[in-house]
Amino acid sequence: MLAVNDLFYLASPMVSSLFLEDVVAWLDENGIRYTPNVKFTGKSGYDHLFDFVIPKSKKRPERILQAINRPSRDEAGATAFAWIDTREVRASDSRAYALPNDSERLVSSSVMDALNSYEVYPILWSKRQEAVEELVV
């Protein structure tokens, strides 16, 4: 019975929420201010839910952050579309970032290229410390 219960916790939505918890812990540890679960209505009229918004500061623009637990073509496309659709209704200097989880498998270059093509700046989870200064200020 316990083994079946353990499988429940390893189901895809649960693993995704575990990664999100890791992201929250990392943001908190590094003193990065954020608002979680922010919904913006895009130009299309569709609502898009982003994992985090880091407010504008004197030195940096608003930053929108999306955690991607299982990076794939579909996830990259969905993240890019959400950003494209909402960027025109946000401040002109707002920036979007994706945090692809590469802790269990490599993120393909096509996923990284797709995100970069639409100005969604990817920060690999394994290299997150390199981006702290850009997000904390």
Across the chain, which has 137 residues, the per-10-residue mean pLDDT values are 54 66 98 98 97 96 98 98 96 97 96 97 98 92
Output the pLDDT for position 127. Answer: 98
* Structural domains of the chain, with CATH: 12-136 (3.40.1350.10)
Q: Does residue 10 contact residue 57 with C-beta atoms inside 8 Å?
A: no
For the entire predicted model, the pTM comes to: 0.86
The per-residue pLDDT of the chain, averaged, comes to 91
pLDDT digits (tens, 9 = 90+) for 68-96: 999 999 999 999 999 999 999 999 999 99
Distance between CA atoms of residues 102 and 31, nearest Å = 23
Q: Tell me how far apart the terminal alpha carbons of the chain are, to the nearest angstrom.
A: 48
Following DSSP, what letter does each residue of 59-118 receive, concatenated? SS--EEEEEESS--HHHHHHHHHHHHHHHTTS-TT-EEEEEE--SSSPPPHHHHHHHHHT
